[in-house]
Structure 1
Amino acid sequence: MTEHLRAYNSLWQVRSDSWCRLEEAADRLTRPTTTGELREKYIDICRELLERLSTLEPYWAYPGWPQFARISRLFASGNYDKFAQTLVRINRALTTESYRTGDVDNAGADELDMFPSDPRRLEEPSPQRDRPYFEVLVVEKMTEDQERALRNEVRKWRRPDDEFVYELVVVSSGDEALIAARLNVNLQAAVIRRRFSHQSTRDLSTLSEFVDTGVSHDLADHQSPEERAQILAVSLSNLRPELDLYLMTEIDVEDIAGRLGKYFRRVFHAREGMLELHLSILQGVEARYRTPFFSALKQYSHRPTGVFHALPISQGKSIVNSHWIKDMVGFYGLDVFMAETSATCGGLDSLLEPTGPLREAQQLAAQAYGSRHTYFVTNGTSTANKIVTQALVAPGDIVLLDRNCHQSHHYGMMMAGANVVYLEAYPLNDYSMYGAVSLREIKSKLLALKRAGKLDRVKMMSLTNCTFDGVVYDVQRVMEECLAIKPDLVFLWDEAWFAFARFHPVYRTRTAMASARALREKLQDADCKRHYEEYLAAGNPETASDEALLERRLIPDPARARVRVYATQSTHKTLTALRQGSMIHVFDQDFDQKVAEPFHEAYMAHTSTSPNYQILASLDLGRRQVALEGVELVQRQIENAMQLRDAIDNHPLLSKYMRCLRTSDLIPESFRPSAIEQPLRSGLRNMMAAWDQDEFVLDPSRITLFIGNTGYDGDTFKRQQLMDRYGIQINKTSRNSVLFMTNIGTTRSSVAFLVEVLVSIARELDENISEMSLGEREHFERAVHRLTKQPVPLPDFSGFHPAFLDHSGTEPTPEGDVRPAFYLSYDDTNCEYLSGEQIDERLDAGIDIVSATFVTPYPPGFPVLVPGQVFSREILQFMRDLDTPEIHGYLPNFGYRVYTEKAIEIVAESVGLPLNGHRSGVRAAPESQKPGKKKPTKRSGTESNLPEVGHAELLGQQHPGDAVTVSPPGE
C-alpha cells in the first residue's frame, strides 16, 4: 500500500483507480467461472483494495464512512453478489459525479447515466436546476449514532430554493481535520466544535505525509477548548485560506466571539445555532459564487435596446440582418453578440473609473488572490507590466531587471526612462537555457549601487516568478534581504505563468501576494524587533564588507522596511479567462499615499477606452472558479504532470531517446541546501522541505523533455513532429529540449494521448535508425553528439556602451539608459546594417559596435542584445550556434542593425566622454573598413538630420525629474 501512497501528487488518482479496480475485481469474483485458486486470488485483491481505501474514505462525504463500512461488512460476510452490485453503483457515481446532486443514497443508480457531463449540454436549458455541490468538515468526537443524527438534521434544513447542496465530513481530531483539508477538495467550510481530540485514534501511518505533528503537539499543550480551536483555525486557514471557518461553543459565546471572531466567519452557540449555521454556510459559499460583472452583463444582454452610438455589432444587429455573415452567429452563438456593448451605464460599469459591478468584481478578485487591490487588464500582461512600470518609475530612476524577462519589461523601461541594471541568471549551457537570478547576484548589484552613492535612486526590482522553464524563487527571502539594503525597494513579480500557484498550499508560499502578506505580518511581530537587535549585535551591516554581506543572511530593520509588492498575472494562460485577460495584484503599504494617482494615470494611458466586456466577464468567472475549486484543479494539474513524467521515464523505448529533466538538472546544488534531488517524486514532506529551504525549486507542472538523443533540435521536434503530424501545441523549446506544461484543463486522456504520440515518434525513429546506411548513421550520430555533447555557452550581458551609462557616483556602475539608446535609431542616418563577419572585423580593429535594436532569438526567447548594448564575440558565436529560424531584430539579408560610429561619437561628446577610445572605446574606423549596408526604408514625415539637432534633444535626456522630450520621433 505504501507504494501507492508514496507521492502526494498521485493520491487522488490512487483513490479513483482503487475504486475502479475494486469494482472490476468484485465482478470477476462473482462470475460462475471464477473458482478455486482464481476465486481466492480475487478475494485477496478485494481485501487489499478495501484496506487501502479504508485509510482514505473517512475524509470524503461520498461514499462516506458509514456506506464504506456497509460495503466492508458485505464482503466480510461473503455476500459477494450484493457487494459487487453496490460497488457498480458507487463507482458509477464517483466516475460521473452524480453524487453531487446531494442525493447520496441513490447516486449512481440511474443506468442511463453512464457518462460524465457532456459539454454539448451546457448550451441547452436544463429542465431542472443543477445546484453546485460541496462538502463541510465538522471537527468533533462523535459516535456513529450522533454522526447519523447530525447528517439527518442538516438534510432536513434543505429547501428547494437553496442555491447549493452540501454533505458533511466528520472527523474527531485536529490532525485528521488537516488531513481532510489537504485531501478533500470538495470542502468549502469547516465547523470546529468544542470536543475534538488533538490526535486520531486511527492508524495514520500510511498517511504520515499529511500529518502535521507540530500542530498536534500544539493542540496537546493547550487545555482550553477555545485556545485549541484557535490553533486549529489558524492551521486550516494557512492550508486552505478560502475555507469559511465556523466555531460552535456552549459557554461564554459572547466573550469568545469577541476574542476569536477574527479567526472565524461566525461563532455560534451549540444549542441555538443549527439553522443559522446552515444558512451561514450557504451564504458564505454564495459570497464567493457571486460574479457581479458577469451577472450585470448577462442581465444587460436580455434587455431590448436602441443603439444610436458606436458598435453596430451590439446585440448582433449588424449580423442577423446580414445576407453574408450569418454563419458568425452559428459559430459563436447569439449570446456573445447580445452582450456586446459600448455602454457604461444601465447596470454596467467603466473599466477606467469603476464604481459598480466591475469594482465589486475586482474587490472579490483581491480577496481570492490575497492582494490589497486587484485590477483587471484586457490586453494582456504585456500591458500590465507597462502600467506598473510607468506608475512607479520616473526618468532617471534605477531599476534592477532580470535580463531574461519578457520583452514588455524592456519596453516598459524604455518608455519610463529608467536606468536599467540587468541581472544575470545562472546559465544551463547543456540545455541552452537560463535558470533564475541568484540572491547573491541581486545583493551584489544593490551593494555596488550603495557604494557608488546611488542607492537613493534605486526604485524597483523586477523578476520573473516562475521562469518559463519552471524555476521558482524564494520570494519572501529575496524581498527580506533586499529590504535590508534598500528598505523602500519596490518589487514587481512577473507571475504571467504562475497565476494558478495561489491555489495550492505548497505553491502559495512562493507567490508574490502570499509572501508580501507573510512579510508584512513578520515585520509587525514583536519578535521581529528582538531578532533584528540580535542580528545587529552579531555584526553591524553598515561596517561589514560587501563580501561578508553577500555570505550573510540579511535581516531588514522592521522600523524602516516597507512592503511594496506588485504582481502581474496572465489569468488566461494558466486559469480560466478569454485571451488577453490579465490581472494586476497590489500589496503596497504606500499605495494610497504615493502610487494611487500615478497608477491611475498609467492605467488610463495603457488601457483602451473600449475594453472587451467578454474578457472582463471571463475574469470575473475565472475568479469564481478558483475561489471555489482552485485547489482541486491545481492538484489535478500537478497529478497529470507527475503521471506524464512517470510514463516517459519508465517506458523502455521512450527512455532510450528522451528523458524528463530533474530538479538537480535545472537547479545547481549550491542553490539546494535541502540536497533533495527529486523532491517532486519523493512525497509531500520532501517537497515541502525543499520549498521551505532551497533558494530555487522546480514547478512540478512543467516537464522539460530532453530530446538530444533523437537527433532533432527542439524547434524541429516541435514543428515537424508534434504540431504538424499530431496537432500537439507547445510553446517553449531550446536546442535540445521541449517544454510541456499541464494546466487546469489538462485531462488524463490528453496525457495518455501525448504519451502515445511520443511512443510513436520513438518507435519510428528506432526503425529508421535500424535501416540507416553507414553514411546516414554517421550523420545521425553527429547530430546527436552536437545536441548532447557540445553545449552552446550562453553569453553574459556585455554591458551598455559608456555613452548610455550614468557616470555620476563615486564608482562606476552598470546601469544604462535604454530610452535614448532606443530613440536614437528613429533617425535612419544614425544606423547601418552589419553582418556578423563585418562586426568581427571591427572588433578586431578595436571599435565598439553598439546595437540599435532588441535582438531576441526564439528559442530561447531572451534578448541577447538591447539598444545601447555593445557586441561581444561571445554573443556573435552564440548567435551562430543557434538552431532557430526566428530571430527578432535580425535580418538575414542585411545583418544586425547597429549605430554608426559618427552617431556614437556625437552621443559620447554630448555626455562629456573623450573620443578616440580613451574612455568610451569609440575610435575612428580605418579607411579600408568596408561600409555597412543600409536597409531601404520608408518613413512618413520629415527625416531628422542628426548633426543638426542638439545632443540633449537627440538623446531625450534631461535632468532626472524634468520632462523628457525625444526628437525624433516627436514630443
Structure 2
Amino acid sequence: MQVMGDYYSAIQLRHDQWTTLREVTEALASARKPKREAALVTNVRALFDLLGPIETYWAFPGVQAFEQIRRQFEHGNYADVAFSVQRICRALSTGAYRRRHVPLDRDSADADEHEDEVIQPPEARALAKPYFEVLVVDNVNEHQERWLHSNFKKMRRPEDPFHYETVVVPSLQDALIGILFNYNIQAIVVRPGLKFDSKMEMSLLTRYLDWAGGTEGIEAVRSLDHGPALCRLVANVRPELDAYLVTDRSVEEIAGHDLGICRRVFYNQEDFMELHLNILRGVQARYKTPFFTALVEYSKQPTGVFHAMPISRGKSVSRSHWIQDMGAFYGSNIFLAETSATSGGLDSLLEPHGPIKQAQEQASRAFGSKQTFFATNGTSTCNKIVVQALVRPGDIVLVDRDCHKSHHYGLVLAGAQVVYLDSYPLNEYSMYGAVPLREVKHMLLHLKAQGKLDRVRMLLLTNCTFDGIVYNVERVMEECLAIKPDLIFLWDEAWFAFARFSPLYRQRTAMNAANVLRERLRSDAHARAWEEQQKQLKDASEEEWLNTRLLPPPDARVRTYATQSTHKTLTSLRQGSMIHVNDQDFKGEVEVSFHEAYMTHTSTSPNYQIIASLDVGRRQVELEGFEFVHRQVEAAMAMRRAIMTHPRLSKYFRILTAADMIPSKHRESGLESYYDPERGWSDVWDSLVHDEFVLDPTRVTLAVGGTGWDGDTFKTQILMDKYGIQINKTSRNTVLFMTNIGTTRSSVAYLIEVLVEIATDLDELLDDASMMEKRGFEKRVSNLMHDLPPLPDFSRFHDAFRSAPETPEGDIRSAFFLSYEENNCDYLELDGSIKAAMESGQEVVSASFIIPYPPGFPILVPGQVVSQEILAFMRALDVSEIHGYRADLGLRVFTEEALKQQAKANQARLKLNAARHKIF
C-alpha cells in the first residue's frame, strides 16, 4: 500500500488511514465471497502494519488496545474488529476520548457515542476538564509499562483541574518523534535507562527528527547523559513543554548539566504523587490567564456605575426600546465586562501593575522575548511606538521600501533620515520579494566609507512579507552587527505571530534569533572565530566583505524588536497586537523613551475585551499552538497538491513555487517546490536552515491570469461575490490564499470545488466562443501574463531633502510637512503636464505618498523624484485604488519655488550642524 508519498504529514496520514480502516473492516465484516474477503484481509493487514508504528506515540486508543484489535482480526473476529475501529474513528473525530473513557468492545455500552465536541455549546465545553498527554521516556518491557500507566492513573483526584493519559516510549529518538508528532503532549518525564536509537523505520515519522534539528553529536553522549541531552533538545523544538527528569545519579554529578526545559529533577524515588502534582502545576502555569480571569470576576461583581460609559453593565442597552437587537446579538457578558475602571481587580494598560502586567509577562515567556507589551489599536500603532522610542531626529534608518505604510508615517513623525532599500522584483507577477542581505551590507559599508555609520540607528525589515517571503533573520542580524555592532533591528512580523510555535518556523523569528545570538556571542568559540576572521579581513576590499559570511564581535549588542498582529494569525479580537523586545540596552537607554512613545500612541481608554483576548490567545498557543500551526501547514500543503495534480485546474491556474518567488541565488539548498506531481513532497528542513529566503508554506499564491481576469476582478467579482470566499492580497495576475490556525480541511475542499467549477465554466465558455471571442480571451491572458510593466526601484530623494550627495538618505519629515502649505504644491497630469515637465528637464518631486492597491506599498514618498520608470508603472496600473493620487487633478508635486526655498533652508541647517560639530 503506497500511501505515504501522498501525505505531507504523519498526523494527516493517521487520520485518513483510520478512516480507511473503518471502511475496509466494515466491508470485511459483511463480505460473503471468499475472493472478496481475501482481498479485504490483505488490505486490512497492510493498514494495521501502517498504523502500528504511529499508534505507539498516542495514548488513545493505546498500544495495548490496538494490539488487541489486531489479534481479534488475526483470529477472524471481523465483526468485533469493525465495531472497535468504528468507535475509535468516532472518538478521534469528535474528541470524545478527551472527555471520557471510550469502551471498544461490543458488550460495553457507550451512551454518548453520538456526542460531538464541536457542536456542544461553549458553556458545556468550558465546564469539561481539559485533557492532555504525558510522554514517559523509559526503556521498559510490557509488564513494566503497564505498571507505569497504572501508577499514574492511581494519582488522579476529583479536584484535579486537568486529566491526562500517559504514552511510554523507549528511546531519545522516539521521544523527539513523539513530541513533534503528538500534539496532545504537554509534559515529558525522562526516566533512567532510556536508549538512544528508535526501532521505527517509517520515513514519514523519522523525518520529524530533522525537524528537531537532527541528532548530530548526541550519539557521542554517554548513555548516562541521554536524559539531560533529551531535555535540551526538547527545549529547542517545543520550548513550551515541561520536562521532568528522574535520575538515579547523585546531585553532584548532574548539577553542572544544562537541563533545558527541565522544571524539576527527582532523585532515586518513585514518588508518583509529587510528580503528578508537578505535572499539573506546570500545565496550570500556562493555562493561567491573569487579565481574562480578572475581567470575568469583575463582570460578576454588583457595581454602581457613576463614571463614563453608559454601555457598562449593559444598562443603556437593556433600558432601550430601539437597540434590543444589539443586546440579543452580543449577549450580556460583553456588556458586563465593559468598563473604564482600572480598579476592582482590573489594571491599567498604560501603567500596568496587576493582571495586565502578569499577562504581558506570560506573553513574554511564550514568545521568547525579554519584555512584551500589548496594544489595542493594531500593529500600525506598534510600529510607530517602536520607531518613536528608538529613532531621534537625524538618525539614519535603513528600511525596505515596500514595507507597510505605518513605518513610513512613523519615520516621518520621528524625523529620521531614511535610506530606502529595494527588494528584488518579481515583474511577471507585479510583486516584490525581499531585500537581499548583500544590498543591506553594501549600504552599511557605503555609509561607513562616508563616515556616517555612527548615525545609522536602525534596520527595519518585514518578516515575513505579505506574499510569504521569510528572511534568514539570524544571518541578517549577525552580518549587520559585524559592520555596525550596536545596530537596532525592528522586524515587522505582523503576519508571523504564529511562527514561534512551530520548530519549522521558530528559527526564522526575531526573538529566537536574538536569543541564539546572545548566547553565541558569550561563547569562547565565537570569540576565537571572530578573531580569526578579523585577521582574514584585514585590508580586505568591499567585495570581499560582501562575499564573506561576517561574524559580529563578541561585544556586539543584540537589540531586537518585533511587532506582531496577534489578531491576524492567532486568536485575538481585531486590532489586538503585541510588541516583543529583546534589547540588551532597553533598561539603560530605551525604557523611558519607550514609555513616552507608548503613552503617545496608546489610547487612555483601551478596549478590555481586546486585552483579554490577547491573554487567552497566549494561553491557546502555549497549550495547542503546535497542533494548530501544524494543521495550518497541512491545509496549505493539501491545497498545493490538490491544485497541482488536477488536470482541469492546471489549464487556467498555477501555484507559484519557491523557484517562482525566490531567485536561485537566494536558495542555497536548491529547493524549488514543496510539492512536485512527479517527485512528491520535498524535505524543507535544509532550506529553512540555510537559504537566504524561504517561502512560507502557509501562503499559497495562485496565478490567475490564465482565466483572463486580473487579480482584483477574480477576487471581488468571482471569489467573493459569487462564492463567498474571502481573500485579501492580489496582484495584477495573482491572488493569495492564506491559511490560518482556523482553516479546516473542509474549507480547502470547498475552495478546490470552486476552482474546478470556475475552470469548467471557462471550458464551456471557450467551447462555445467565436473565433473573435477566443482571440479576445487570448489577448487578455497575454496582457496579464506577459505584457507587464517592470516594477520601479526607488529613484532618489531630491537634493533639497538630502544632507549630502554621496549617500542616499533623505529627510522625509521635511518633505511631508512642506506639503501642508498649498502654495508649495501643484498638480500635474500623468499623460499631460507631467510628461512635458520631465521632457523639459524639470525634476518632478512628489509631495505625497502614492500607494496603489494592489500592490499596497508606496511607489512614491514625499520628497522623492519621479522617474520615467515610476511614471510608466503608474500609467500601466489598472487598479481601482491609488491612495494619494487624484484622478481628476493628477499627481501632487512640489513647485520649483518651494524646492528652491527648501534647498536654501536645508543648506543653512547643514552649515549650522557642521558648526556645532566643530564646537563639540
Q: Does 1:121 align with 2:117?
A: no
Q: CA deviation at 1:74?
A: 1.0
Is the Cα–Cα contact under 8 Å of residues 459 and 490 in structure 1 kept in the other structure?
Answer: yes
How far apart are the structure 1 equivalents of 2:340 and 2:381? Answer: 21
Q: CA deviation at 1:203?
A: 3.7
Give the corresponding residue for 1:256. Answer: 254
2:172 is matched with 174
Equivalent residue, structure 1, for 2:662? 667
Q: Which amino acid aligns with 1:568?
A: T
Residue-by-residue CA offset, 1:608-655 (whole Å, 9 max, x unaligned):
000000000000000000000000000000000011111111111111
Deviation at 1:368, TM superposition (A): 0.3
1:24 aligned partner: 23
List runs of 5+ in structure 1 lacking aligned partners. Answer: 913-950, 963-971
What is the identity, as a one-letter code, of the residue corresponding to 1:723? Answer: M
Amino acid at match of 1:171: V
**Shift in Å, 1:143:** 1.1
Partner of 1:745: 742
SS in 2 for 1:191: strand
Q: Distance in 2 between matches of 1:638 and 1:247?
A: 32
| Change beyond 3 A, Cα 1:62–1:412 | same
Give the equivalent residue in structure 2 for 1:937.
Answer: none
Contact 1:532–1:557 under 8 Å retained in 2: yes
1:4 maps to 2:4: yes
Please list the CA deviations of residues 694-720 of structure 1 after superposition, one character each: whole Å capped at 9, or x if unmatched. Answer: 100000000000111111000000010
Q: Is the 8 A contact 1:134 1:166 kept in 2?
A: yes
Instruction: Give 1:547 shift.
Output: 1.6
Structure 1: distance between partners of 2:216 and 2:421: 44
1:818 counterpart (812, 826, 829): 812
Quote the residue 1:79 is aligned against: 77
Alignment of 1:801 with 2:773, yes or no, is: no
Q: What secondary structure, in the 3-state scheme, does the structure 2 residue paired with 1:345 have?
A: coil
- Is 1:498–1:574's contact at 8 Å kept on the other side of the alignment? yes
User: Of residues 507, 510, 522 in structure 2, which corresponds to 1:509?
Assistant: 507
- Greater mean alpha carbon deviation, residues 52-61 or residues 352-361: 52-61
What's the TM-score, normalizing by structure 2?
0.96
CA–CA separation in structure 2 for the residues paired with 1:685 and 1:430: 25
Q: Tell me if structure 2 keeps the 8 A contact 1:396–1:961.
A: no
Equivalent residue letter for 2:648? L
- Aligned pair partner of 1:906 in 901, 905, 909: 901
The residue type paired with residue 532 of structure 1 is W
How far 1:207 moved relative to its partner? 3.0
Aligned residue among 689, 698, 702 for 2:699: 702
SS in 1 for 2:441: helix
- Residue aligned with 2:18, SS: helix
Distance in 1 (CA, whole Å) between partners of 2:578 and 2:845 is 36
User: 1:829 maps to what in 2?
Assistant: 823
Distance in structure 1 (CA, Å) of the matches to 2:693 and 2:206: 26
Q: Which moved more, 1:287-296 or 1:49-58?
A: 49-58
Return the letter of the residue paired with 1:574. T
Q: Residues 189 and 244 of structure 1 are in contact (CA less than 8 Å); yes or no, is this contact kept in structure 2?
A: yes
| 1:620 and 2:615 are equivalent in the alignment | yes
> Which residue pairs with 2:567 in the alignment?
572
- Aligned equivalents of 1:618, 1:572: Cα separation in 2: 9
| Structure 1 letter corresponding to 2:865 | V
Q: Deviations over 1:765-813 (max 9, x none)?
A: 1111111122221111110111112232000001110100112xxx710
Q: Which residue of 2 aligns with 1:486?
A: 484
In structure 1, distance between residues paired with 2:446 and 2:120: 61
How far apart, in 2, do the equivalents of 1:624 and 1:109 lie? 36
C-alpha offsets along residues 444-490 of structure 1, whole Å, 9 cap, x if unaligned? 11111101100000000100000111000000000000000000000
2:128 to 127, 130, 138: 130
Counterpart secondary structure, 1:673:
coil
- Equivalent pairs counted in the alignment come to 910
> 2:780 corresponds to which residue?
783
Cα pair 1:706 1:738 within 8 Å, conserved: yes
Change (3 A) 1:852 1:315: same
Indicate conservation of the 8 Å contact 1:253/1:267, yes or no.
Answer: no
Aligned mates of 2:464, 2:213 — CA distance in 1: 30
Between 657-666 and 544-553, report the one with greater CA deviation.
544-553
Q: Map Cα deviations across residues 83-138 of structure 1 (whole Å, 9 max, x no partner).
A: 1111111111111110012525569963654353245611x456x94000001111
Q: 2:571 aligned with 1:557, yes or no?
A: no
How far has the Cα of 1:240 moved from its partner? 0.7
Indicate the SS of the match to 2:46.
Answer: helix
| 1:441 match | 439
2:598 aligned with 1:603? yes
State whether residues 174 and 216 of structure 1, in contact with CA within 8 Å, keep that contact through their aligned partners in structure 2: no
Q: Is the 8 A contact 1:853 1:865 kept in 2?
A: yes
Query: What are the within-5 Å matches in structure 2 for residues 367-516 of structure 1?
Result: 367-516=365-514
**Change in CA separation of 1:261 and 1:673 when aligned onto 2, cut-off 3 Å:** closer
CA displacement 1:555-593 (0-9 Å, x = unmatched) = 11112x110000000000000000000000000000000
Go from structure 1 to structure 2 and tell me whether the alpha carbon gap of 1:790 and 1:177 turns closer, same or farther (over 3 Å shift). Answer: same
Where does 1:310-349 land on structure 2 (aligned, <5 Å)?
A: 310-349=308-347
- Answer yes or no: is the 8 Å Cα contact 2:232–2:259 preserved in 1: no
Does the aligned pair in 2 maintain the 1:215–1:235 contact within 8 Å?
no
Q: Find out whether 1:645 has 2:640 as its counterpart.
A: yes
Shift of residue 218, structure 1, vs aligned partner: 3.8
More displaced stretch, 64-73 vs 477-486: 64-73
Identical columns (%) = 55
Shift of 1:761: 1.1
Aligned-pair distance for 1:206?
A: 5.4
* Matching residue within 883, 891, 895 for 1:896: 891
Q: Deviations over 1:181-234 (max 9, x none)?
A: 110111101011110111124444553312359865644423352x22111111
SS class of match (1:686)? coil
1:305 pairs with 303, 306, 314, which one?
A: 303
Change in 2 beyond 3 A, CA 1:193/1:796: same
CA separation in 2, counterparts of 1:296 and 1:74? Answer: 53
Do the aligned partners of residues 217 and 850 (structure 1) sit closer, same or farther apart at CA in structure 2, a change above 3 Å counting? closer
- Distance change >3 Å, CA 598–CA 815, structure 1 → 2: same
1:547 aligns with 2:551: no
Q: 1:459 to 1:615 in 2, by over 3 A?
A: same
Q: How many Å apart are 1:160 and its aligned residue? A: 1.0
1:64 CA drift (Å) = 1.3
User: Which of 350, 358, 361 is the aligned partner of 1:360?
Assistant: 358
Q: Indicate conservation of the 8 Å contact 1:261/1:267, yes or no.
A: no
Matched residues in 1 for 2:549 and 2:689: separation?
Answer: 15
User: CA contact under 8 A between 1:424 and 1:796: conserved in structure 2?
Assistant: yes
Which residue identity does 2:588 align to in structure 1? Q
SS of equivalent residue, structure 1 residue 911: helix
- Look up the equivalent residue of 2:551 and give its one-letter code: I
Query: Among residues 862, 867, 870, which one is paired with 2:862 in the alignment?
Result: 867
Tell me the secondary structure at the aligned position of residue 166 of structure 1: strand
Distance 2:270 2:744 in 1: 45
CA distance in 1, matches of 2:310, 2:915: 45
Query: SS state of the match for residue 737, structure 2?
Result: strand
What does residue 717 of structure 1 align with? 714
Contact 2:385 2:597 in 1 (8 A): yes
1:435 Cα offset (Å): 0.3
**Quick check: 1:703–1:740 contact (8 Å CA) kept in 2?**
yes
Match of 2:765 in 1: 768
AA matched with 1:629:
E
> Match for 2:138 among 131, 137, 140?
140
DSSP-derived class of the 1:436 partner: coil
SS in 2 for 1:890: coil
1:910 Cα offset (Å): 2.1
1:110 corresponding residue in structure 2: 110
Letter in 2 for 1:691: L
Offset at 1:250? 2.3
* 1:90 corresponds to which of 82, 88, 91: 88
Distance, in Å, in 2 between the alignment partners of 1:563 and 1:961 is 34
